[in-house]
Structure 1
Amino acid sequence: MSDDPTPPALPVLTTGRLLLRGRLPEDAEALFPALSDPGVMTWWSRAPYAAVEDVRADFAVRAGDAWRSWAITRPGEDRALGFVAAGEKRQGGVSEIGYLLVPEAQGQGIAQEAVKGVIGQLFAEGQRRVFADTDPDNRGSVALLERLGFRLEGRLRGEWHTHIGIRDSLIYGLLAEEWRA
């Protein structure tokens, strides 16, 4: 057993148009304009970032962190267009996913392709269920989840106290056997 506290490297994932690699603190510069934009951050449970240094610190991988994050890039271009994160919520194969895409990359099917790649990886690793927690008014995210086959499992009323107030949360879930079908 190693004394190295560094978590194992994420597998690099490739899709038809994208390369997903482990998100790095250096990706903060490319993603800061989106993460500091109140419009982009409307549906996040945290307020927009005020400084790129804060993003860089949050992007640092820490030993014991339950969340893994892939930067979304195009092959041959190492600039992050966004990220997909997955966190194991319960032992026994249940993970939550979250994602963000810079505005200039939206509307091109990139988020769907990237999230699909990560979901495939999670199920290949033996996860039995993947879920997402999204704001009911986040129409883009709801549409993406439904296109990927997620099913609405419930609404948690007054679940989040965010920078835009108290918000409900929709829980969308996808089981491994539904994905394979």
Structure 2
Amino acid sequence: MAFTPLRTSRLVLRPFTEADAEDFAARRSDPETAMYQAWRIPYSVEKAMALIEESERHDGPMPGHWYQLDVQRIADERTVGDVAVYLHEHGHTAEIGYTLHSWARRKGYATEAAAALIDHLVDVTGVHRVEASTHPDNERSIQVLKRLGFEAEGVKREAFWVEDEVSDDAIFGLLARDWRSRRDLLGI
């Protein structure tokens, strides 16, 4: 069964298509966007196509694979960014990530899109725990995670490698029961 797009009041989260490759590569090539990420810039359209093709092989999140969703504004169908999910082996734990265009930041899109994805993971996929990690200096991303109810669980020192550079990795976790309580407070 194909993945059904997720809708919020302002956004649609839908599977990537080949038509998204140029926008995705441009977003990942932005130095500010790439600052705390696991990729080098420039990020080629060919790399974007390979990632999209991998994601297209699946009808939704599957254990052992990353699954990408394009995030579009409903009002004008413009892509604001993407969210991604990785299901761990037994499907009880998921890791999420999000990336927005620089012009789309500080408008609540990351929180809204991640909330929709978490809702799907908890209610539809049956995930028990959602994880996220980021560079400890990535304050904007950490604030999104805190708004969503993630708890800081520690920092793995010199645990995140991008080619030959290493950095610390701040780890956050959210349990399904805590999400259910939190989303009621957020009105989601």
Taking the aligned partners of 2:57 and 2:116, their CA distance within structure 1 comes to 24
User: What residue is the counterpart of 1:52 in the other structure?
Assistant: 45
Taking the aligned partners of 1:143 and 1:19, their CA distance within structure 2 comes to 22
Matched, 1:26 2:19: yes
- Asked whether the equivalents of residues 42 and 164 of structure 1 are also in contact (C-alpha less than 8 Å), the reply is no
In the TM superposition, what are the counterparts of 1:68-107 in structure 2 within 5 Å?
A: 68-75=67-74, 77-107=76-106
- Asked whether the equivalents of residues 9 and 22 of structure 1 are also in contact (C-alpha less than 8 Å), the reply is no
Alpha-carbon shift at residue 164 of structure 1 (Å): 8.3
Shifted more, 40-49 versus 75-84: the winner is 75-84
Amino acid at match of 2:83: V
User: What residue is the counterpart of 2:143 in the other structure?
Assistant: 143
The structure carrying a bigger helix percent of its residues is 2
Alpha-carbon shift at residue 78 of structure 1 (Å): 3.8
Q: What is the root-mean-square deviation of aligned Cα atoms in Å?
A: 1.8
- Unpaired runs of 5+ residues, structure 1, are 1-7
- Asked whether the equivalents of residues 41 and 47 of structure 1 are also in contact (C-alpha less than 8 Å), the reply is yes
- Asked whether the equivalents of residues 30 and 81 of structure 1 are also in contact (C-alpha less than 8 Å), the reply is no
Matched, 1:128 2:128: yes
Alpha-carbon shift at residue 126 of structure 1 (Å): 0.6
Amino acid at match of 1:91: H
Paired positions, count: 174
Q: Which of 10, 15, 21 is residue 8 of structure 2 equivalent to?
A: 15
Aligned to 1:111, the other structure's residue is in SS state helix
Alpha-carbon shift at residue 163 of structure 1 (Å): 5.7
User: What residue is the counterpart of 2:159 in the other structure?
Assistant: 159
User: What residue is the counterpart of 2:186 in the other structure?
Assistant: none
User: What residue is the counterpart of 2:184 in the other structure?
Assistant: none
